[in-house]
Amino acid sequence: MEPKRNVIVQVSDARISQNQETRLVTYSLGSCIAVCLYDPTCRLGGMIHYQLPSSQMDPERARRDPFMFADTGLGLLIGKMLELGAVKKCLEVKAAGGAAMSTGPKGFDIGKRNFLSLRKVLWQHGIMMNAHDVGGNNPRTLYLDIETGTVLVKCNGSEKQL
């Protein structure tokens, strides 16, 4: 069995794939959150790596970089996946990140705000989250295998399936 080809999802970006030989991967999830969407019936998967909870923080930037924000980016990703044949009620949603990194102003806790925004956007779209690994103080790496829908999180040398 040949190893999967990694398709990297950069910060403030998203990717969709139906290629069974690939897995989507994003690295260095601190306060950012990565969300995996997967429809097992058509084996279509998508991943977003967003930095901030709300496009209202910087509407001009949101127009240029919609995947930087949970509300604009996740909405676009969901819409595109539905266009490509995913069925909303079949979507499996798994997320990781949202760590409390000591990089912003005290009390700002962007990781927690990012997670709350994710839950709000999913609720607005009538989609439930299946699993998540958020919070803490350590960065994570997230993988989505397009063939199987398996989502793996790596953190501090350990690995777990969501």
Catalytic residue numbers read 32
Question: What residues contact residue 153 under an 8 Å CB cut-off, 6+ apart?
Answer: 96, 133, 140, 141, 142, 143, 159, 160, 161, 162
Let me know: does 33 contact 134? Beta carbons within 8 Å.
yes
CA distance 145 to 17: 10
Nearest 5°: CA angle at 83, between 22 and 133? Answer: 50
Beta strand 92-97 with 131-134 is: parallel
Two tokens, residue 61: 């930037």
Listed residue (9, 30, 143, 25) closest to 73, CA to CA: 9
Residue 31 per-residue DSSP state: S
Element (H, E) at 151: strand 151-155
